[in-house]
């Protein structure tokens, strides 16, 4: 099945659609190897104008949608895994790298990680989030809690979980998520009326000890900020984490 998928994908990536229509927002921790944004491929299992990702072996501008990728991925704990490690010496269309990604429940929003080989020492590892921002609105009063999951060097059994709290009167967001090996606190994050989330004082505690002064970039999605997604990045890239969740 994966061999058939890779053949179709390699052909599909040569076809690029016309002008964008959707309001797709997101970012990645590094754009050397992958880049998220609006999908441009409209062929095979893929559709354009959706949350998507481009890989450097094909071309970062030729983005495929996550919905199409999920059709050929294995799933555990709500995380889709597609593994086609790249031959670093001879990268080509047959090796797309290793994807671990999840969809925020009820939203056209995805978050996850990518690397060339899927190993814990892979310096190409990149975390990301991307979603359709159409119809997003942010309340100006009240509070809400969000059940959030996180992906960090996903192994099949180490999905992170936690709770974030938003205060819409003060435009502030706080909270943390963790698994047995890593805890990430987003610090004192803030957001604007458009739902853009940011923080410069996130912290993480894992096998290499505590790291502070991390950065958080994210967005609210949906009516009344029904969902959120983002990434937390640190000086120790092993701690970089993608997250997403929905309002309780």
Lookup: tokens for 238: 């092993």
**Where does a domain end: 97, 132, 167?**
132
Residues 153 and 124 in one domain: no
**Where does a domain end: 78, 104, 132?**
132
User: Residue holding tokens 């995380």?
Assistant: 79
pLDDT given at position 7: 41
Residues 33 and 79 in one domain: yes
Distance CA 120, CA 207 (A): 12
Long-range contacts, 212-216 (Cβ 8 Å, 24+): 214/184, 214/187, 214/239, 216/186, 216/187, 216/189
Does 127 fall in a domain? yes
Please check whether residue 42 is in contact with residue 126, taking contact to mean a CB–CB distance below 8 angstroms. Answer: no
**Where does a domain end: 111, 132, 153?**
132
Residues 147 and 70 in one domain: no
Lookup: tokens for 91: 């990268």
Residues 108 and 155 in one domain: no
Residues 236 and 197 in one domain: yes
Residues 47 and 153 in one domain: no
Per-residue pLDDT of the chain (248 residues; tens, 9 = 90+): 444 344 444 434 333 333 334 699 999 999 999 999 999 999 888 999 999 999 999 899 999 999 999 998 999 999 999 999 987 666 666 789 999 999 999 999 999 999 999 998 899 999 999 999 999 999 999 999 999 999 999 999 999 999 999 999 999 999 999 999 999 999 999 999 999 999 999 999 999 999 999 999 999 999 999 999 999 999 999 999 999 999 99
**Distance between start and end Cα atoms, the chain:** 37
Domain that holds residue 67: 2-132
Distance CA 176, CA 185 (A): 4
Residues 152 and 233 in one domain: yes
Residues 41 and 75 in one domain: yes
Lookup: tokens for 30: 């590094």
Helix, strand and coil content of the chain, in percent to the nearest 5, comes to 10, 45, 45
pLDDT given at position 91: 67
CATH number at residue 205: 2.40.160.90
Domain count of the fold of the chain: 2
Residues 6+ apart with CB under 8 A from 90: none
Residues 10 and 127 in one domain: yes
Q: For residue 113, what is the enclosing H or E element?
A: strand 109-115
Distance CA 192, CA 78 (A): 30
Distance CA 107, CA 33 (A): 26
Q: Cα dihedral sign for 45, 51, 57, 60?
A: positive
pLDDT given at position 189: 98
Does 9 fall in a domain? yes
Question: 3-state class of 136 per DSSP?
Answer: coil
Lookup: tokens for 53: 């990702």
Residues 200 and 106 in one domain: no
pLDDT given at position 22: 66
């Amino acid at each position: 099945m994966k061999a058939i998928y890779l053949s179709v994908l390699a052909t599909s990536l040569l076809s690029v659609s016309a002008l964008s229509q959707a309001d797709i927002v997101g970012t990645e921790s590094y754009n050397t190897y992958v880049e998220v944004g609006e999908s441009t491929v409209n062929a095979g299992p893929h559709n354009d104008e959706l949350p998507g990702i481009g890989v450097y072996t094909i071309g970062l501008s030729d983005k495929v949608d996550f919905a199409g990728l999920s059709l050929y991925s294995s799933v555990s704990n709500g995380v889709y895994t597609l593994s086609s490690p790249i031959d670093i010496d001879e990268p080509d269309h047959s090796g797309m790298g290793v994807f671990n990604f999840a969809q925020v429940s009820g939203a056209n929003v995805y978050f996850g990680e990518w690397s060339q080989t899927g190993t814990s020492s892979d310096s190409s590892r990149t975390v990301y989030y991307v979603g359709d921002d159409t119809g997003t609105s942010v309340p100006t009063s009240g509070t809400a809690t969000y059940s959030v999951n996180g992906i960090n060097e996903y192994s099949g059994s180490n999905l992170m979980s936690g709770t974030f709290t938003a205060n819409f009167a003060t435009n502030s967001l706080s909270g943390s998520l963790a698994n047995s090996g890593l805890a990430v606190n987003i610090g004192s994050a803030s957001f604007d009326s458009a739902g853009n989330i940011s923080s410069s004082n996130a912290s993480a505690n894992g096998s290499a000890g505590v790291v502070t002064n991390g950065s958080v970039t994210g967005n609210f999605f949906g009516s009344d900020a029904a969902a959120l997604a983002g990434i937390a990045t640190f000086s120790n890239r092993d701690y970089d984490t993608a997250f997403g969740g929905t309002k309780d």
